[in-house]
Amino acid sequence: MKIVSILKPNRKWLIASIIFITACAGAVSTQPGEQTGEEIGEQIVEEIAPEPTEAQESTPEAEDENETAGVASVPKVIPDFLPDEPPPLGAERQFSTDFSRHIVPYREILSGGPPKDGIPAVDDPKFISVAEASEFLGELEPVVFFQIGDDARAYPLQILTWHEIVNDVVDGTPVTITFCPLCNTAIAFSREFDGQVLDFGTTGRLRFSNLIMYDRQSETWWQQATGQAIAGEYTGEQLTFLPASIIGWQEFQENFPDGQVLSRDTGFRRDYGRNPYAGYDNINNSPFLFQGPETPGVLPAMARVLTVELDEEAVAYPYEALQELNVINDTIAGSEVVIFWQPGTASALDSSAIAQGEDVGAGVSFSREVDGQILTFSFDGEKIIDDQTGSEWDVFGQAVSGELAGTQLEPVVSVNHFWFSWAAFKPETRVYTG
């Protein structure tokens, strides 16, 4: 099995990758007394997905592989399926998915180590006040900011790193908040699909190092980075993206003092606050468990980018450029957008303690159109202003002073990625160069 190395490999991550892939294959020969690759892999997997206690045991899965969910057998859109091939190793024993329906080669799917739901989603999220959360969150700690109406919520990455999926209802809307640590992708989706509400879990599999989710209603497999169903009943269908961003805790608590924060009372015992991927986001590293197309060399594989896709035109904004400019005005597929960046958000993948991660800042995107007028934004060295009225704007897209005070820019869906991750799915992406 070939490992595509984009940069000079970091020894620690290359060795870990080989161990994981060998463990997944389960085909390593050993001498008496030696550990197999699977045994070594299990030790590493225990770090992120330990065995649940009796109180945490999930409902036993049906053993009958022929037992299928009572759902419609024909999706809304019938895509061009690939020729039939064996599903990923062990998948038929764990899932009732219709693996005859798929639009990606199964050879592209690797085991990340944990089994189905080995990294457990948070299905019954509990929330606490900003004051309570401040007792365990550092000022720069990264949280996923998500809001519908007046319901503003923060999902700390110190929790999402260990669970990757939160099935929630915000202001009456069923949503799922997801995070793939290996790609640095925090993405929100609507759970309303095909006249039902889906609940998502982790498959334990990766494609191009990216999380593959599944819904518990049809057991269709979904690619987190693209929101597309890649295997199962709904193959070819698309989840609806919702605006979400990674920001620093201090920004959230100052702007939403009455907001809600995901509690560490998840029903599972995890070392919340510690980063099991310490040092992973080093720019000189190679992607972990990545078997995919060679990354375009315009950026280092592990470069941070904020990506926006509108009407099939995709643009990547390197964080290096955002940190230099603070504001970028752009046009994507005929739509006028602006990207804001400001310091004050720690990396979740740098230090072993997430709160002590390097300050990489936060990037967010909005429409530049306000009441039929296209605004142009700039950074005056201290604050973001629009050139038309001189009003001052914050990272949440709200005018905080000036003629337009109180005006809210419309959020545009954007996602943080490592360049290798986004380029694997969208190689035709335009990279902003200024």
- Cα gap 173→151, rounded to integer Å: 11
- Helix then strand then coil, % of the chain, to nearest 5: 15, 30, 50
Please state the φ and ψ torsions of residue 192, each to the nearest 5 degrees: -80, 120
State which amino acid sits at residue 251.
Answer: E
Q: What is the pLDDT of residue 78?
A: 52
State which amino acid sits at residue 318.
Answer: P
Q: What is the pLDDT of residue 56?
A: 41
Q: What is the pLDDT of residue 24?
A: 37
State which amino acid sits at residue 194.
Answer: D
CATH number assigned to the domain covering 304-431? 2.102.10
pTM of the model: 0.83
Residue 100 exposure: Cα atoms within 13 Å on the Cβ side: 2
Buried b or exposed e, range 409-425, using 16+ CB within 10 angstroms: bebbbbbbbbbbbbbbb
Q: Is the dihedral of CA 352, 358, 360, 362 positive or negative?
A: positive
- Cα gap 314→308, rounded to integer Å: 6
- Cα gap 397→409, rounded to integer Å: 5
Q: What is the pLDDT of residue 183?
A: 96
- Cα gap 55→34, rounded to integer Å: 34
Q: Are 108 and 207 in contact (CB under 8 A)?
A: yes
The CA dihedral of 118, 122, 128, 129, to the nearest 10 degrees, is 100
Q: What is the pLDDT of residue 263?
A: 98
Q: What is the pLDDT of residue 49?
A: 55
Pair type for strands 228-231 and 151-156: unpaired
Burial of 60: CB neighbours in 10 Å, binned 0-12, 13-18, 19+: exposed
Q: What is the pLDDT of residue 70?
A: 31
Q: Which residue, 166, 154, 146, is CA-closest to 130?
A: 154
pLDDT, one tens digit per residue, over 377-398 is 999 999 999 999 999 999 999 9
The two three-digit tokens of residue 137, written as one number? 């969150």
Q: What is the pLDDT of residue 337?
A: 98
Pair type for strands 196-197 and 260-262: unpaired
Q: Is the dihedral of CA 205, 208, 214, 218 positive or negative?
A: negative
Which residue matches tokens 């919702």?
242
The two three-digit tokens of residue 125, written as one number? 């999220």
Q: Which residue, 241, 184, 244, is CA-closest to 211?
A: 184
The domain segmentation of the chain, as residue ranges, is 91-262, 304-431
Q: What is the pLDDT of residue 50?
A: 54
What is the tally of helices (H) and strands (E) in the chain?
Answer: 8, 29
Which residue matches tokens 């509690």?
263
Task: Provide the 10 A C-beta neighbour count for residue 34.
Answer: 10
DSSP string, 287-352: PTT--SSPPPTTS-TT-EEEEEEETTEEEEEEHHHHHHHSEEEEEETTEEEEEEEES--B-SSSSS
Spatial strand order of the sheet with 335-342 comes to 327-332, 335-342, 362-367
Please state the φ and ψ torsions of residue 52, each to the nearest 5 degrees: -70, 155
Catalogue the E-assigned strands of 50-141.
109-111, 127-129
Facing residues of 170 across strands?
Answer: 173
Angle, in degrees to the nearest 10, between helices 11-25 and 37-48: 110
Ordered alpha helix ranges (H), 225-275: 249-255
Q: With a cut of 70, which residues of the chain have pLDDT below it?
A: 1-79
* Secondary element (H or E) of residue 320: helix 319-325
Q: What is the pLDDT of residue 96?
A: 96
- Cα gap 342→237, rounded to integer Å: 35
Q: Which residue, 82, 77, 100, is CA-closest to 236?
A: 77
Task: Provide the 10 A C-beta neighbour count for residue 167.
Answer: 21
